[in-house]
Amino acid sequence: MCFSAVIVAAGASTRAGPGAPKPWRSLGGRPVISWSIQALATAGAQEIVVVTTADRLEPTNGLLVGTPGARAVIGGATRAKSVQAGLSELVSDAQTPVLVHDAARPFVKPTHVTALLTALIENDGAAPAVPVADTLKRGGPTVTGTVSRENLWRVQTPQAFRLGYLRDAYEAWPADEEPTDDASVVEHFGGRVFLTPGDPMLMKLTYPEDFEMAERLIGLHRVTRIGQGVDAHRWGPGDAVWLCGVRVEHNQTLVGHSDADAGLHALTDAILGAIGEGDIGEHFPPSDPQWKGAASDRFLRHAVEILTNKGGRIINADVTLICERPKIRPHRDAMRARLAELLDIPLDRVSVKATTTEGMGFTGRQEGLLAQAIVAVDLPA
C-alpha cells in the first residue's frame, strides 16, 4: 500500500541535555534523523516531508538527497503546528495514508509500517502501543495513591491516518490546547483509533542516558563485514601521479581510463566487496566515455553513499601501495588525511603503507604500481 510520511524534527530537545537537538545527535555514526528517513523510505514511502527548524533546513535537505519524493519544511512553535506544516506540504490525495513520526524514535521497521497500514483499512487511525508494565503511583515524592494499569498503554510513533481526515481533525482541534499526539486529535474529532503491537525498540530518545542505551542496542543488531580490493596500473609518460587522492610529482604517470588512482580504486572495490555490490567496473565501466580522465574520488564517494544508504558505516581502512617509486612516505600523512575526509571517519582509522618487491615482478621492474586495500564496515544485521 502506498503511503506518505511526515517526520517531526523541529523540537527544542531541552530534556536531552547540552548539545545539538536530538535529531542531529550522532547515533551509530550518523544523525538520529537519518535513521527514520531511511527506514520509512525503505518501507515504501512515496513522499517524505521532514519538518525541521530554519537553521537546520539546508543540512536536512542535504540528508534527503537521493531519497525520491523527500523534502524538508520549516516547522512551527509547537509540535502540532509542525505536524500541520508537514501535512500541508504533502501533495498526495486525501485518501492516501500518512504516517506521522517523531524523529527521536529512530528504530522503525517495515513490520511496524505494515501493521499500521493494515489497521487503517477499517479504522480512522492506528498507532503502535505497548501495555504499561510498571506499577503506577500518583503523587511525588510522597506517594498519594496507586493507579491501576489495566487497559493502560504507552503509545508510540509512527501513527497512521488518511491525509484528508487528519487535516480535517487538526482544523477542528481547539486552538488554545496542545495535543500530546496525533491520535488524540483524531479521537477528539470522533475518529476510531486502533492500537497495533508496539515495540520496545521504538523507544523515544528523550534524556542523555537514552542515547547510551540506543548505541548499545545498535551493537546488538549489527554485523561487521570485511572487504578487500586490489588494483594495478602500468606506468606511462607524465609528470605526476594520483595516489590515494593526492597528486604526487613524478617523472611518470599511471595509465588508465580515469585518473588511474590505484589506491582509490582498490579502496572502492574493498567497500563494494564488503557490501556485496560487485566491483568498480560494474558501476563505472571503462567503456563509458564519461569516465575518461575522471577523478577517482567520485568512485569512492559513490561506494560510500551505497554503504550509507544501507545503514552502514566504515570502521577502518588500510591501503598498501606496492612500488619502487615514487617514495610514498613524504606523502603518507596527506594521503591519510584525504582518505579520512572522503570516508568521513577519524584519521586514526585510516592507514596508508608502502612497500617494494625488492626488484621482483612487474612492480620491481618499475613497469607498474599495485595497490591493495582492506576495509571493515558496520551494517544492520
The secondary structure of 257-322 as a DSSP string is: SS---HHHHHHHHHHHHHTT---HHHHS-TT-GGGTT--THHHHHHHHHHHHHTT-EEEEEEEEEE
Cα-based distances in Å from 134 to 15, 62, 148, 150, 350: 22, 41, 10, 11, 47
Q: What is the pLDDT of residue 77?
A: 92
Strands 45-52 and 70-74: parallel
Pairwise CA distance, residues 361 & 371, whole Å: 14
pLDDT at 286: 82
User: What is 222-380's CATH topology?
Assistant: 60s Ribosomal Protein L30; Chain: A; (3.30.1330)
Domain boundaries defined on the chain: 3-139+149-220, 222-380
| Residue whose grid cell is 555490490 | 277
Q: Which residues of 52-82 are buried (b: 16+ CB within 10 A; e: fewer)?
A: bbeebeeebeebbeebebbebbebeeebbeb
Question: Residue 4 is inside which H or E element, if any?
Answer: strand 3-8
Average pLDDT in the 75-100 region? 96
How far apart (Å, rounded) are the C-alpha atoms in residues 45 and 40? 6
Place domain 3-139+149-220 in its CATH homologous superfamily. Spore Coat Polysaccharide Biosynthesis Protein SpsA; Chain A (3.90.550.10)
Residue 219, Cβ density class (10 Å: 0-12 exposed, 13-18 middle, ≥19 buried): exposed
> Minimal CA–CA distance to 125: which of 196, 192, 45, 171?
192
pLDDT score recorded for residue 12: 65
Categorize the per-residue pLDDT at 169 as very low, low, confident or very high, splitting at 50, 70 and 90: very high
| Distance in angstroms (rounded) separating the CA atoms of residues 11 and 6 | 14
What mean pLDDT value characterizes the chain?
A: 93
pTM: 0.66
What mean pLDDT do residues 37-42 have? 92
Residue 14 has what pLDDT? 57
Yes or no: say if 268 and 375 are a contact pair by the CB < 8 Å rule: no
Confidence bin at 18 (pLDDT 50/70/90): low
Answer yes or no: are the C-beta atoms of 192 and 119 closer than 8 Å.
Answer: no
Cβ neighbours for 260, distance < 8 A, ≥ 6 positions apart: 233, 241, 242, 253, 254, 296
Question: Over the stretch 104-159, which tens digit does the pLDDT of each residue have?
Answer: 999 999 999 999 999 999 999 999 999 999 999 999 899 999 999 999 999 999 99
Give 308's pLDDT tier (boundaries 50, 70, 90). Answer: confident
List the one residue out of 352, 366, 353 whose CA is nearest residue 323: 366
